[in-house]
Amino acid sequence: MFAAATKSFVKQVGDGGRLVPVPSLSEADKYQPLSLVVKKKRCFLFPRYKFTSTPFTLKDILLGDREISAGISSYQLLNYEDESDVSLYGRRGNHIVNDVGINVTGSDSVAVKASFGVVTKHEVEVSTLLKEITTRKINFDHSLIRQTRSSRKAVLCVVMESIRTTRQCSLSVHAGIRREAMRFHFMDEQNPKGRDKAIVFPAHTTIAFSVFELFIYLDGAFDLCVTSVSKGGFEREETPTFGLLYRLRNILFERNRRVMDTISRSQLYLDDLFSDYYDKHLSMTDISLKEGTHIRVNLLNHNIPKGPCILCGMGNFKRETVYGCFQCSVDGHKYVRLHAVPCFDVWHKRMK
């Protein structure tokens, strides 16, 4: 019943989604400014996070005994009185029934009345705290730090503001039947025992809070994540396996870059060759068919398989040919593969 009332309060007050309802009356005193809570994602099916209270404050996990000098300001927020009737067939109605344990025989709804009265907001002076943490370090030997650091899903947070009641407050739940003529009808005369429940809790009870996540570095320094864009957690050490893979990735990247540069230079070289060939309007007979020059032959007739051209086969595309020249030799071979046009004439022109 208390959880349902605090959720309703946060939903109506809003505050841009930063406010978190206190889940339990027994833990309300643990959500005070500068207290530490653990934020953990439930699972991929539930986008909302679960906040777990701890018995520690920010000072407890810092090195040294110096107190935190950041002050806490407070002011009245609003006067909150809420009455609502909830269907028993909804999720919230089922939660209230299971939480309170009222008798719902013959009822289709429950009426919830929350009387918080004037509530106050207590918040930490952020600018002062940010200046102070620049000289403070986290104690990695603290049990809370060790346990939170071992879980990759858990994030340590510090409570920056809390909303509290100022007087004794009451919550009541009544089971009844919805009527068309009136909003809600209480069956006073026919009410079985246990149909109504009410609780009273003392003044200065925290009903909602907001947090800043902590990002903790390897050297013990830490930052407050004052915006929703920045995320908290722990800076992770580079493991040997990760470091080896990272260096291997860099080596492969550099090698691939050099290969691409070589291919690019080869392509530019071929472009220069061919443009020079076509600019001078050379023909197939300009060199190869002159007397005393090398002869273009079909290598397949000499049992030599098709292969990459020694000129244009070195570019981005491995262009292959069946033609070549027996008068030239390269890399121990007694022949050179060359396309009939224009590679054969370009090759022998450059050889001259």
pLDDT tens, position by position, 281-297: 444 444 444 445 688 88
User: What is the H or E stretch that residue 7 is in?
Assistant: helix 2-13
Residues 258-264, mean pLDDT to the nearest whole number: 68
Residues 183-205, mean pLDDT to the nearest whole number: 62
Give 137 or 236, the one with higher predicted confidence: 137
DSSP helix/strand/coil, 146: helix
- Across the chain, what does the average pLDDT equal? 77
- Check whether 120 has a pLDDT greater than 90: yes
Residues 303-320, mean pLDDT to the nearest whole number: 77
- Check whether 139 has a pLDDT greater than 80: yes
Residue 51 structure tokens: 């906040």
Residues 214-228, mean pLDDT to the nearest whole number: 88
Q: How far apart are CA 119 and CA 2, in angstroms?
A: 16
- Check whether 191 has a pLDDT greater than 70: no
CB of 28 closer than 8 Å to CB of 3: no
Residue 329 structure tokens: 């030799």
Residues 244-261, mean pLDDT to the nearest whole number: 75
Query: Across the chain, which distance is largest between two alpha carbons, in Å?
Result: 127
pLDDT-based confidence at 54, cuts 50/70/90? Answer: very high
The single-letter code of the amino acid at 314 is M
pLDDT-based confidence at 319, cuts 50/70/90? Answer: confident
Q: How far apart are CA 331 and CA 41, in angstroms?
A: 65
Q: Closest by alpha carbon to 310, among 294, 287, 331?
A: 331
Residue 211 structure tokens: 């947090």
Residues 82-96, mean pLDDT to the nearest whole number: 64
First CA to last CA across the chain, in angstroms?
98
- Check whether 236 has a pLDDT greater than 50: yes
pLDDT-based confidence at 106, cuts 50/70/90? Answer: low
Residue 111 structure tokens: 């009426």
List Cβ neighbours of 318 (8 Å cut-off, separation of 6 or more).
Answer: 308
Other C-beta atoms lying within 10 Å of the C-beta of residue 146: 10
pTM summary value: 0.59
| 80 φ, ψ (degrees, to nearest 5) | -110, 120
Q: How far apart are CA 336 and CA 176, in angstroms?
A: 99
